[in-house]
């Protein structure tokens, strides 16, 4: 796409999204058109669409912002195409989604803004998106979904569990990637989770899951998972990872279960002959949120290139956390625990301008930490995180 086409797409979308309630109205209109004109696609979506609507608009915004960065956008779309095989989508479904989205945009843009040139621009953009996804899906030889049997379910906090599964066949994912997961009690409600261990020849995989208050899926994963039940797992997604033979020093910042993809990468790095210096800051609201310090301590003790600093916003556990219900908080090999907001603490160490940086956590934590690091002098190009949707 040329710069004119990109500008027309971006301007149209941002104009609609900037209106009061625009993103929600656009999403509602899109799904209304899609399910009216193409009722056969309704079964691909969950009954409750609240989270789906929000995710849709954020995904469109993510793609629109990267139309001039094909080296980043096209691999992302290819991954989505491989992942969407789990739904059983074919070319006619992509066409239905594209036409419905374009109709919704045209309805909210109005006749004054929407022109033939803009219509052609969106046709070109949607063709690139759909074409890239379909081509990647057609070329993929791995299964559209894997089946994993739960072999361990351990609640380490009141709202956090570690689940280990045995897959019907191994997934060749890169440490640091994430994947969509569906549990039997929540059909068609896929959630993204990051493995906490590298891929294994035996096909075992481990997820760290925090229950989101009011959520449909994560509380069920944490509180009601049973050994023996079967989960469905989609294709690996995401671009976090540490290239082999890199000499660039690393800064990793993770909060809560965001430690999972970072820990998986560190475990994978221990199998290499040499590694650059790595500083990991692992954070939580309370000391009890640092649930994985035992494993991290072992990694730090065994690898001189790794420095791990625990950070909590509070110095005390909450009243509802039972005493002695988590691992001891004193671990050899770790730096003394610091108290404060993790982004502020990390940025307080300096600019980190010589580091490649990875940030994993909630969207608000990622954005806050990223902005603080940039203000401290970290080049934006050095900072990586997964899409925030």
Q: How far apart are CA 40 and CA 34, in angstroms?
A: 9
| Distance in angstroms (rounded) separating the CA atoms of residues 220 and 218 | 5
CA-angle at 193, arms to 76 and 253, nearest 5°: 80
pLDDT digits (tens, 9 = 90+) for 76-118: 999 999 999 999 988 999 999 999 999 999 988 876 789 999 9
DSSP 321-360: S-TT-S--S--TTSPPPEES-HHHHHHTT---TTEEEEEE
Give φ, ψ of 110 to 5 degrees. 85, 160
**pLDDT tens for residues 144-164?**
999 999 999 999 998 999 999
- The gap between the terminal CA atoms of the chain, to the nearest Å, is 25
Model pLDDT, residue 7: 94
Q: What is the mean pLDDT of the chain?
A: 92
Q: How confident is the model at residue 246 (pLDDT cuts 50, 70, 90)?
A: confident
Tell me, what's the pLDDT at 326? Answer: 45
The position carrying tokens 């793609």 is 63
Torsion on CA atoms 79, 85, 86, 90, rounded to nearest 10:
140
Strand, coil or helix: 90: coil
The model's pLDDT over 127-145, given as tens digits with 9 standing for 90+, comes to 999 999 999 999 999 999 9
> What is the pTM for the complete model shown?
0.90
Three-state DSSP at 227 gives: coil
- Predicted confidence at residue 320, as pLDDT, reads 76
Q: Name the token pair of 272.
A: 């290499």
pLDDT of residue 162: 97
Instruction: Order the strands of the 179-182 sheet from edge to edge.
Output: 191-193, 179-182, 230-233, 146-157, 160-167, 204-210
Q: What is the pLDDT of residues 322-349, one digit of tens each?
A: 655 444 456 889 999 999 999 999 999 9
Tell me the pairing of strands 278-284 and 249-255: parallel
């Amino acid at each position: 796409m040329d710069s004119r086409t990109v500008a027309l797409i971006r301007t149209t979308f941002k104009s609609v999204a900037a209106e009061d309630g625009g993103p929600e109205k656009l999403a509602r209109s899109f799904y209304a058109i899609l399910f009216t004109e193409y009722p056969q696609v309704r079964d691909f979506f969950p009954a409750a669409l609240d989270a789906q609507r929000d995710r849709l608009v954020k995904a469109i915004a993510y793609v629109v912002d990267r139309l001039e960065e094909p080296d980043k956008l096209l691999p992302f779309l290819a991954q989505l195409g491989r992942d969407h095989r789990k739904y059983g989508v074919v070319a006619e479904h992509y066409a239905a989604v594209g036409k419905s989205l374009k109709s919704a945009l045209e309805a909210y843009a109005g006749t004054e803004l929407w022109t033939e040139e803009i219509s052609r621009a969106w046709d070109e953009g949607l063709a690139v998106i759909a074409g890239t996804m379909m081509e990647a899906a057609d070329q993929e030889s791995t299964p559209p979904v894997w089946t994993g049997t739960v072999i361990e379910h351990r609640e380490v906090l009141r709202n956090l569990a570690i689940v280990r599964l045995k897959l019907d066949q191994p997934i060749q994912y890169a440490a640091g990637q994430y994947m969509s997961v569906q549990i039997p009690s929540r059909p068609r409600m896929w959630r993204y989770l990051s493995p906490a261990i590298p891929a294994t020849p035996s096909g075992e995989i481990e997820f760290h899951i925090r229950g989101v208050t009011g959520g449909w899926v994560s509380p069920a994963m944490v509180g009601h998972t049973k050994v023996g039940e079967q989960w469905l797992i989609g294709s690996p997604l995401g671009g976090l990872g540490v290239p082999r033979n890199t000499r660039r020093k690393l800064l990793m910042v993770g909060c809560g279960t965001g430690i999972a993809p970072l820990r998986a990468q560190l475990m994978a790095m221990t199998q290499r002959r040499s590694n650059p210096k790595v500083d990991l800051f692992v954070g939580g609201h309370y000391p009890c949120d640092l649930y994985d310090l035992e494993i991290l301590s072992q990694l730090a003790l065994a690898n001189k290139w790794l420095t791990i600093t625990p950070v909590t916003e509070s110095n005390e556990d909450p009243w509802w956390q039972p005493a002695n219900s988590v691992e001891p908080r004193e671990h050899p090999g770790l730096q003394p625990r610091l108290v404060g907001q993790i982004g502020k603490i990390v940025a307080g160490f300096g600019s980190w301008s010589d580091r490649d940086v990875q940030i994993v956590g909630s969207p608000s934590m990622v954005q806050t930490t990223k902005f603080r690091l940039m203000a401290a002098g970290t080049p934006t190009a050095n900072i990586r995180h997964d899409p925030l949707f």
